[in-house]
Amino acid sequence: MKLRERQWIIGAIFLLITFIYQGRLVQMQVFAPQWKAYASRLTEETETLESARGLIRDRHGEIIVNNKAGYDVWFTPRKCKTAGGLDTLALADLIEMTPESLIRAFKRAENYATYRPSRIQKQLITETYARISGEIWRFPGVEVRRRSIRTNPLGHASHLVGEFREVDQNDLESNLGYRLGDYKGKSGLELQWEATLRGKQGTRHHIVDIRNDYREPARSGMLDTLPEPGIDIQLTLDLDLQAYGERIMTNKRGAIVAIEPTTGEVLAMVSAPNYGTDLLTGRDRGSNYDSLINHPDKPLFNRTLRATYRPGSIFKMVQGLIAMDRGVLRPSQRIACDRSIIGCHGLHQFDNFEEAIVHSCNPYFHEVMKRMIQDGSTRSIFSDAHQNLGNWSKSVRKFGLGTDLGGHFPALRSGSVPDTADYDRMYGRKRWAYSTIYSISIGEGELLTTPMHMANLAAILANKGYYVTPHAVRGSAGIQRIETEISSRHYDAVIRAMSMVINTTDGTGTRAATPGIEVCGKTGTVQNPQGNHSVFIAFAPAENPKIALSVYMENAGAGGDWAAPIASLMIEKYLHREVTQSAKEQRIIEATYPFPDKAL
């Protein structure tokens, strides 16, 4: 047989086989209605399997943030059209929507994709799901999917924990694997630790019919993957102390921050007024958010990290330490209380350093800073100030003021420690002198701090010269010991004075006295046009301190009136686990903003 004849025979065989296959396909799809109907009823679906989000626990393992079941309703337009439509009035009533809102949701779903599911109702509670689960099958294209809802049932530490809500367009475009309808941390620790808490979603591929009923695994389940749960994080917070702080700060404006001095672990972060994070989950999030954002007391504002206040008289201890380190002040040295230079209060006249701390003498510390800034080295008060203020500012920043304190709280404002460049911008180069800026000598003027910075300052004093990076999550990386580079011996005089502030009859912080505990503290009264802020920092016990804290009470007057007794209650609660000062506690709990003109 010739080669050309063989080629014709082989080609004919292949052509015959092709005709046979095509004929069979036509027969199955056109002339065999049972196969055509079966194929139209089946489709492959990919179901996302949510991973369990990691829990948030306190330092003792108590759960602060947990997960609970919620149910979303999804709609696929293609399936509805294939099945001939559905009863929108009945569906709206079933899933707790108005007919108008349901129609709008349908239109959004069609505009998004006719062949992919879109969520039309979110976060139905378990009781609602139990009621509707047996009826959903009647509505083609509609399905209910279970999802986890984040819950902080007691509402503690809401500002620190942060918000967990639906992803936005930026998240979808971030290439981090988020899809429409996913949720993620949007602020606080929920955002900061998102990668740890999130886990990894799984997928399940299966065949469903037009009623969305499961028929069989797709490809025998070979493509399915299991979800990987998120990892729990353990906070350094003491939940009992946090809860107590929130209780006594009810109906007030201000903040409490407590730190364990030797470790930098934050024991409590109370921003008042507080709010419950559960208000910002679920279908009522929008209305709740509008109510909170427009509230005059600004409950969403995290005062522990974001509010900047002047440090007031508390800053005098920093002034004294820097001056002693530079040799321009001795603790025994007395300075006249010259009230013609700057105002003061009390009957003192000629204090040494410790007495000046106890009496919070303004002229004393005006003179202390003057000796550092206007030292006569250049024979020009302008050149002296310009030359010396920069070194002073560097020394202040070594106390953590004007810094991010190591960066473990991304929302933390650094505050302000003014330097030469700042005053040059304000007044012009060498057109200012100490007489222009002296208000910073007593913690006023351009100095700004947050309650976190002031609690950290209390920890520095407790540690006699260093702090450990403040942090709120156990196992955080980058924790360091930071030295102020001022000799620990200079802190002895400061600590003695802080004890006298509370334990002597003429001290300004006597209301911080705590049964069975030697407390060391310092009051501050920070000037404010709407009413002075009451401020107090402290640590306890005096020997081997276990807690250091700051208290800010907005528009509450003198530091000894309100902030000092609150610190006393927090210290007793943490060290003794219960509070015995019932009269003091009742007075604080009953006090509300705005505070009385005079302390009771």
Residue-wise pLDDT tens digits, 447-466: 999 999 999 999 999 999 99
What is the pLDDT, as a whole number, of residue 216? 65
Tell me the range of 284-288, 529-533, 573-577 where mean pLDDT is highest: 573-577
- Where b means 16+ CB within 10 Å and e means fewer, 271-304 reads bbbbbbbbbbbbeebeebeeebeeeeebbbbbbb
Of 309, 248, 269, nearest to 565 (Cα)? 248
Residue 289 lies in a domain: no
**Burial state string for 490-516 with b = 16 or more CB within 10 A and e = fewer than 16:** bbebbbbbbbbbbbeeebbbbbbbbee
447 lies in the same domain as 370: yes
DSSP state of 31: I
8 A C-beta contact, residue 364 and residue 320: no
Lowest mean pLDDT among 95-99, 244-248, 498-502: 95-99
pLDDT tens digits, 146-194: 888 899 999 999 999 999 988 888 988 888 888 877 889 999 999 999 9
CA distance 435 to 368: 13
Residue 140 is predicted with a pLDDT of 86
pLDDT class of 3 with cuts at 50, 70, 90:
low
Mean pLDDT of the 38-54 span: 69
Q: Mark whether 205 and 278 lie in a shared domain.
A: no
Q: Is residue 62 a part of any domain in this protein?
A: yes
Q: Which of 38-42, 189-193, 575-579 has the lowest mean pLDDT?
A: 38-42
Do 216 and 323 fall into the same domain?
Answer: no
Q: Fill in the amino acid letter for 169.
A: Q
pLDDT confidence bin for 46, thresholds 50/70/90? confident
Name the more confident of 174 and 281: 174
Q: Is the pLDDT of residue 498 over 80?
A: yes
Mean pLDDT value across residues 544-549 = 98
Using 50, 70 and 90 to split pLDDT, how confident is the model at 214?
low
Q: Rounded CA gap, 426 and 495, in Å?
A: 36
Local confidence band at 40 (pLDDT 50, 70, 90 cut-offs): very low
- Considering the domain architecture, whether residues 464 and 375 belong to the same structural domain is answered as yes
Same domain, 229 and 362: no
Q: At 427, which amino acid appears?
A: Y
Is 503 inside a domain boundary? yes
The secondary structure of residue 235, as a DSSP letter, is B
Same domain, 244 and 223: no
Asked, for residue 3, whether it belongs to a domain, the answer is no
Of the candidates 176, 200, 234, which is a domain's last residue?
A: 234
User: Looking at the predicted structure, is the pLDDT value of residue 45 above 70?
Assistant: no
Average pLDDT of the chain is: 89
The answer on 570 and 522 residing in a single domain is yes
* DSSP 8-class letter at 449: B
Three-class SS state of 201: coil
Question: Of 234, 255, 290, at which residue does a domain stop?
Answer: 234
Residue 215: per-residue pLDDT = 58
Give pLDDT, residue 44. 64
- With a cut of 80, say whether residue 132 has pLDDT above it: yes
Per-residue pLDDT, 201: 83
36 versus 284: which is more confidently predicted?
284
Q: Give residue for tokens 């707790």.
A: 96
Mean pLDDT for the stretch of residues 14-20: 72
Strand partners of residue 272: 254
Domain presence at residue 393: yes
Instruction: Give the closest residue to 259 by CA, choosing from 35, 532, 462.
Output: 462
Residue 422's CATH number = 3.40.710.10
How far, in Å, CA of 47 to CA of 155, rounded? Answer: 33
Sheet strands (E) in 275-408: 335-336, 350-351
**Dist. CA 529–CA 208, nearest whole Å:** 68
Beta strand 202-208 pairing with 214-217 = antiparallel
Confidence at residue 596, expressed as pLDDT on a 0 to 100 scale: 63
User: What separation in angstroms does the CA of 493 have from each of 293, 311, 330, 442, 461?
Assistant: 46, 20, 10, 18, 11
Final residue of a structural domain among 234, 254, 273: 234
User: Within this chain, do residues 190 and 259 fall inside the same structural domain, yes or no?
Assistant: no
d(CA 483, CA 530) in angstroms, rounded, equals: 37
Its sign, for the CA torsion 87, 88, 89, 95, is: positive
Average pLDDT on 40-46 reads 59
User: What are the residue ranges of helices labelled H in 374-504?
Assistant: 381-397, 420-427, 434-437, 451-463, 489-503
The 8-class DSSP code of residue 28 comes to I
pLDDT at 530: 85
Q: Are residues 219 and 186 in the same domain?
A: yes
**Residue 203: its pLDDT value, please?**
80
Block residue for tokens 């107090």: 536
The DSSP code sequence of 62-122 is: -EEEEEEEEEEEEE-HHHHHHTT---HHHHHHHTT--HHHHHHHHHHHHHH-SSS-EEEEE
Q: Give the Cα separation of 521 and 12 in Å (integer).
A: 102
Pairwise CA distance, residues 552 & 554, whole Å: 6
pLDDT score at 600: 45
pLDDT at 311: 94
* Residue 351 forms part of a structural domain: yes
The secondary structure element, H or E, covering residue 143 is strand 142-151
- Within-domain flag for 535: yes
pLDDT at 48 over 90: no
Whether residue 10 is contained in a domain is answered as no
**Domain around 181:** 46-234
Do 200 and 90 belong together in one domain?
Answer: yes
Distance of CA 327 to the CA centre of its chain: 42
CA–CA dist 164, 280 (Å, integer): 8
Same domain, 90 and 222: yes
Contact 148, 52 (CB under 8 A): yes
What is the rounded CA–CA span in Å between residue 327 and residue 333? 12
Nearest to 540 by CA among 275, 261, 298: 261
- The stretch 301-313 carries a mean pLDDT of 96
Residues 132 and 263 both lie in one domain: no
User: In sequence order, which residues have a C-beta less than 8 Å from that of residue 580 and are 6 or more positions away?
Assistant: 515, 572
Number of domains in the chain: 2
Domain with 161 in it: what CATH number? 3.90.1310.10
Give the number of other Cβ atoms within 10 Å of residue 33's Cβ: 9
The pLDDT of 80-104, averaged and rounded, is 83
